[in-house]
Amino acid sequence: AQKVTQAQTEISVVEKEDVTLDCVYETRDTTYYLFWYKQPPSGELVFLIRRNSFDEQNEISGRYSWNFQKSTSSFNFTITASQVVDSAVYFCALGTLNDYKLSFGAGTTVTVRA
Amino acid sequence: EAGVAQSPRYKIIEKRQSVAFWCNPISGHATLYWYQQILGQGPKLLIQFQNNGVVDDSQLPKDRFSAERLKGVDSTLKIQPAKLEDSAVYLCASSPGGARREKLFFGSGTQLSVL
């Protein structure tokens, strides 16, 4: 069975600070996909990033970056120079080839104060 | 491009009543998902359709929940009879193919309160 753990329940920062969200996953599959989604107050989840298990290259996309470490089963996500509009709940999710379900973590609520 | 449409946005019912939610996915998306999101938790998959066939309904409480996707387009999710623990946001999502590597497009959800 797949499991995603987001240990941080809430994070509060002041605008322009960096925010790093932790995600630890469990799976026995060798091929899997990791995602980060954002859920603003409007309710709909919005896709942010995706990584494949066979590609550990870490990248930066605008103010978003991620750190995928297979050795520790972690897929952390960083927002650089946070803005008030980044306030939302962020979910880490795991999909595998052998399980149709996309497993979500419990989410981390990020509050960015002006 | 129009997103995933859901209605109603909010619904309040009493326990033992019935309720239905509607979802219209993005045009051309073969796969449709219904997720249940209880307050403070991540979304949990209830049922997944590929076109009009069920791919996974292992976490759907079939004694009270039912879902259909007629003609492989829009879908309805029904709860009959509702229980207090069914209070949650019901999210519909769609994706082009259905592979686990695909990103999902979500609607804004229906917030259900069972009193």
CB A37 within 8 A of CB A86: no
Residues B15-51 have pLDDT tens digits of: 999 999 999 999 999 999 999 999 999 999 999 999 8
- Taking the C-alpha atoms of residue B25 and residue B74, their distance in angstroms, rounded to an integer, is 6
Q: How many CA atoms lie within 13 A of A102 on its CB side?
A: 29
B59 touches chain A (CB under 8 A): yes
Q: Do A97 and B100 touch (CB under 8 A)?
A: yes
Q: Is B79 on the interface with A (CB under 8 A)?
A: no
Tokens of A67: 């750190």
Q: What is the least distance, in Å, from the CA of A66 to any CA of chain B?
A: 17
Higher pLDDT, B100 or A77: A77
Mean pLDDT of A28-41: 92
Instruction: Please identify among residues 95-114 of chain B the ones whose CB lies closer than 8 Å to any CB of chain A.
Output: 100-101, 103-109, 111
Looking at residue B105, what is its pLDDT? Answer: 93
Residue of chain B whose alpha carbon sits nearest to that of A103: B44
In this complex, the residue of B41, B43, B101 whose CB is nearest that of residue A33 is B101
Beta-bridged to residue B23, according to DSSP, are: B6, B75
pLDDT computed for residue B99 by the predictor: 67
- Strand pairing of A24-26 and A3-5? antiparallel
Q: Do B41 and A106 touch (CB under 8 A)?
A: yes
Q: Tell me the pLDDT tens digit for each residue of B56-71.
A: 899 999 999 999 998 8
A29 and B CB contact within 8 Å: no
Q: Which helix (H) or strand (E) holds A79?
A: strand A74-79
**CA distance readout (Å), A46 to A37, B39, B110:** 5, 18, 16
CA A41 to CA A62: how far, in whole Å?
22
